[in-house]
A = this chain, B = another copy of it.
């Protein structure tokens, strides 16, 4: 059985380095890291008094909210597709 190769990628997010291990490409991991960094800076600029831990939690909250909205959108597309195929 073949296994996907695991990559180790070092990224900088909001001034801290992280080693991310996964089967995704280094470019994908870098993209994800840069988007998290960007979102943290955006939330921080609106709430300058937040400490890093709270800032990161609120970034995760914000991203998970986007995620649920995307899931709803995917489901509506699936529904539409199903109707067209039936």
Contact = CB atoms under 8 A, between A and B. Distances in A.
A77 B68 contact: no
B81 A32 contact: no
Contact of A18 (B28, B57, B73): B57
Given A53-B53, A70-B71, A60 B36 contact: yes
Contact of A36 (B20, B57, B77): B57
A19 B33 CA distance: 26
Interface in A4-28: 13-14, 16, 18, 20, 24, 28
13 contacts: A28-B68, A32-B65, A35-B64, A35-B68, A36-B64, A53-B53, A56-B59, A57-B59, A60-B60, A63-B67, A70-B70, A77-B81, A81-B84
